[in-house]
Structure 1
Amino acid sequence: MALQGRRLVLALSGGVACYKSADLVRLLVKAGASVRVVMSESAERFITAVTMQALSGQPVVTSPWDARESNNMAHINLTRGVDAIVIAPASADCIAALAQGRADDFISLTCLARPWGVGEQPCPLLLAPAMNREMWSHPATRRNVAQVVADGAVLLGPAHGDQACGEIGDGRMLEAEELFEEIVAFFEPKLLQGQRVLITAGPTFEAIDPVRGITNLSSGKMGFALARAAREAGAEVTLVAGPVALDTPRGVRRIDVRSAVQMHEAVMSVASSQDVFIATAAVADWRPALAAEHKLKKDGSGRCPALNFVENPDILASVARLPKPPYCVGFAAESEKLAEHARTKRERKGVPLLVANLGPATFGRDDNALLLVDEQGERALPEEGGRADKLLLARLLVREIAQRLTPTRT
């Protein structure tokens, strides 16, 4: 689980976005985190402490005078030994109190009392702003946000969109799933900090006529998982995606394409400025030499149209042949003789690392089993064998790539 063993304090200041915090605590607990919930008096106007206690499985603290604490110092006890404090929603008033170092409500008091690194590990503070667009853009709020960031807080959002008041703009709190993804990313080691990573994902579609084409069963899930994992590791990620039905990972730049030629053009336009290229996409080897202008129709004669094919450009080999190529990682989806075909493909493409998997056993699934092939030999991922979730595999592969980059970079 992504947050196994993590201890978090989730604080709710006043705002209608409190309803999202209920889903957030559910996601955090499901991921293995221990969550203590703190609520302001205003937050209790929007959601009950009973709800948050039921979801977190732990008592909710709403007052600095909570007598359940043996020393009556909940603001001290809650912050010792925790991995982070997350304030979601963080209202304009809450952010102002943090910026000014006030301690006149339980949330600001608790944050002021958290460890700063004197004698023990600092306690990170993550803020998910939630307020009206005018409040978010007000000069006072901008000053307060700048101050809390300068003091070490990490902003999660806000988003742009519909607001409870009926207006549209910046200030909307991120959705629970988005906040969860950001919190997980915060704790991932930044092994690719400052690196630029280019990833291809999904299938390509080679048109036969305006309504038909040749494609494959790749869902793009492995490539999208790699994009998320690379971003979690601190990289600046560009994702070139074929036709897939997947949401873009947060913080990732996405370029949508359909055909192999379009994917080649998109990749080559940015490849020379990248540090790492991971060719996860299942690119069609051939395409019809000429797509029909109109739909091809059967006429009852039993005759089928004759299709002439031409070879598509080799994207991975093209990047590997650049004068100063990024570190190239290829993917091979095979149906048999996995190791043998992977070794041959790695040598033919001229790349240092090739990742092989059995296409029929992974297309469309959420789990996978990988075989890493380099000049030293082969190694399974996960190392203990079997299959693993694609996001877990992506994080393991990112760590593998980071280790291989280290000897070649100053």
Structure 2
Amino acid sequence: MHKSIAGHQITAPVPCKNAPSRRALRVHAAAATEIKAGAAAKKTQLGDSDLQVSQCCLGTMTWGVQNTEGDAHKQLSYALQDMGLNFMDTAEIYPVPPSAETQGKTDQYISTWLKQQKREDTVLATKVAGFGNKYLRKNGEQTRVTAQQVEESVNGSLSRLGTDYIDLLQVHWPDRYVPLFGAGAYDIANEREDIPFEEQLQALDKVVKSGKVRHIGVSNETSYGVMRLVQLAEQHGLPKIVSIQNSYSLLVRTAYETDLAEVCAPRQANVGLLAYSPLAGGALSGKYTDKAPEGARFTIFPGYMERYTKSLAKQAVAEYAAVAKKHGVTPTELALAWCKQKWQVTSTIIGATSMEQLKENLGAFEIELSEDAVNDIERVYKRFRDPTTKPIDD
């Protein structure tokens, strides 16, 4: 069952040992909020799988670069034990920014925490790299979605995570050429030979049948990719993808809300959206209004984040911040509450480098935006549609 804008009464509220601060839960007369206890932990079905996941998923990609093992354990305990989440997401390439020296640290930090928990209480998602990486495989081979590489990837993930199964294995990015991470329009000059979809599904089928993986999904995928994978799975009796993890936020929404939303809708392919980067790499928090803070993601990963810093996104962020102020919430709360309310979203992936950020992020799920607030957001969106694709001097 997918959520609707009208409400999210999916399961009974989950009691919280340490509720977010009153600042994160405040309600002003002008604010369009209605407090709903335990909202981040409410469960919903992921696509047509048997997985019941919290509508907030704990992201982990900073653990090992921006965060220590101790930081990771504090976040895990607060989010999954105190606040009742049951869903976390990692990847074989993490932490980010990726490097051969740090690769796998995120999984190792998760493992040392997971050893003290009941494994069945956690829905654990990870990813196998698509085309292009050259240090993940033992023989230095360029990563591809082949049977041999998928098995190597899964075995490596299981070893690092200290578990014998993965709940959700996602293809991190397509094996074929697709414009990714803020790149421009599709260019046929960049097309290359790729691993056929059917062969990829056969590779994933092997790890599912072995019991190492329960369900499969995709990430950074297109409508074409989703449809081909779903069609071939049905035609050949292969595993069907149940999820798609794509960037989705107030700044990056058009690409998903048009044809991808239709393809993935429950009455069509029924592929659940796991929305990543709902704060647009932290841009929507407003902390990059002036100079990027020392140690922040934009500071340590400038090239990757230029789509937010050298585009009209800054102007859009200022407009959304004004909407947040009008309705008595922080910019972070506005962005996350909006994402949580969208019918397209099954679970929103949040990531934080401090406990203060994590608590504010989780507190945002207690907020229900009013029709007036949503209308104000839509007015800004009409002026700044796809702002990350437009240079500042346009």
Normalising by structure 2, we get a TM-score of 0.29
Compare the two structures and name the one with the higher helix fraction.
Answer: 2
Compare the two structures and name the one with the higher strand fraction.
Answer: 1
Larger radius of gyration: 1
Normalising by structure 1, we get a TM-score of 0.28
